[in-house]
Amino acid sequence: MVIYMRAFIAFDFPEQLKNQLYQIQNLLKNISYGGSWVSKDNFHITLKFLGEIEEGYVEGIGRVLKTISLSNVPINIKVNNIGYFNRKNNEYGIVWLGLEGDMDRLNAIYDFIEDNMNQMGFPKERRKFSPHITLVRRMRTNMDFNKVRNIIVPYLGNQYKLDNIALMKSEVIMNKRVYTPIVSSKLIDHNNNRR
């Protein structure tokens, strides 16, 4: 029997970054009157959404992630701004945090994944890669977004290392969206002097 799973490739976050994002999320909760909040455990940067895949792809995807981990050191990022997609009246479709840092290296990893997944039969993404962290969907607030930004900006700017790249399974368990790493690979800095 063929087993399918809804899956994507992502950078999973270190605990201290998840804690900071959760703190920022709570600030947003205090100034809003509704929204679909991303669970603290689910914060990540999506590199490739695969959709429903057969379990048989896992091994090949794992090899691609291993290749990435062997040829890349951890990526330095800063969470540097807050924005949104799709505003309709007082509802913001997605409120996200933007990044700065080793963006060239993050883009190179993204391109490598796109090329390798394309060879496996997954079509290339047509949209430009725009790495961001989703905090909430359908957030409702009466506050002007410039004021929202002013509240959040003081909490931005900390630096983090991304070092865990994973194939994640997405499923709904007890009415809750749960992301589970199926296979993951660590980017290791073998030489601390390397830039």
Q: What is 4-186's CATH number?
A: 3.90.1140.10
Q: 11, 12, 25, 44: which one is catalytic?
A: 44
Q: 132, 133, 162, 167: which one is catalytic?
A: 132
pLDDT digits (tens, 9 = 90+) for 60-82: 999 999 999 999 999 999 999 99
Reply yes or no on whether 44 is catalytic: yes
CB 72 within 8 A of CB 110: no
pLDDT value at position 192? Answer: 55
Q: Where are the domains of the chain?
A: 4-186
pLDDT-derived band at 194 (thresholds 50, 70, 90) equals very low
- Dihedral angle over CA of 176, 177, 179, 182, nearest 10: 90
C-alpha–C-alpha distance, residues 195 and 192, integer Å: 8
Encoded amino acid at 13, one letter: F
